Amino acid sequence: MPEIRLMIVDDSSMMRMIISNVVSRLPDVRIVATCENGSVALSKLAAARPDVILSDIEMPVMDGLTFLRQVRLRTRAAIIILSSVANLGNPNVDLARKLGADAVLCKPSGSTSYDLEEKLGAQLQRIVKNFGRSHAAAG
C-alpha cells in the first residue's frame, strides 16, 4: 500500500500539533509539511507533493478559501477543510465545496479544539485514509 503524504495548514501551532497527533497514528500516513497559512503552504507544495491537504479556513496572510482557489490549480491532492466556521448553513462551507474541497469538517469546539481526537479523531482518520489511498494510488 502506498504511503499517504499529508500537508496540514492551520494558523494555530497547537491545532497543527493536535491534528498531527491524530493522523500520525495511521501507519501509512506521513506528514510532509505543516504550514501556518495558505501562502506558506503554496510555497511548500511542490517539494511536499501531498496526497491530502488538511486546511483551516480562517488564517492570516492567506485564508483557506483563497488558498483553495490557488492550490486547486496546482495539485490534484484531496483537500479536506477542517474549520471552526464549517458548520451547516455557513456560506463558507458551500463556497469551499464549489472551490474544490473534497470534504468539509467542523472542528468540534472552536478554533483550537483540544478534544479533536476524542470527538472527531476516528472520522478524520477515516477520511484521510479514504481520500489518501485513492490519491496516492493515482499519483
Give pLDDT tens digits for 25-61. 999 999 999 999 999 999 999 999 999 999 998 899 9
Q: What is the pLDDT of residue 41?
A: 97
pLDDT tens for residues 64-95? 899 999 999 999 999 999 988 777 677 888 88
Can you tell me the distance from the alpha carbon of 79 to that of 7, in angstroms, rounded to the nearest whole number? 9
Q: What is the pLDDT of residue 137?
A: 58
Mean pLDDT, residues 116-130 = 89
**Domain range annotation of the chain:** 4-138
Picking from 43, 26, 25, the residue whose alpha carbon sits closest to that of residue 34 is: 43
CATH number of the 4-138 domain: 3.40.50.2300
Percent of the chain with pLDDT strictly greater than 70: 94
With cut-offs at 50, 70 and 90, classify the pLDDT of residue 113.
confident
Task: Give the distance, in angstroms, between the CA of residue 28 and the centroid of all CA atoms in the same chain.
Answer: 17
Higher pLDDT pick, 5 / 112: 5
Per the DSSP assignment, residues forming a β-bridge with 7 are 33, 53
With cut-offs at 50, 70 and 90, classify the pLDDT of residue 135.
low
> How many Cα atoms sit within 13 Å of 114 on the Cβ side?
0
Kindly report the pTM of this predicted structure. Answer: 0.91
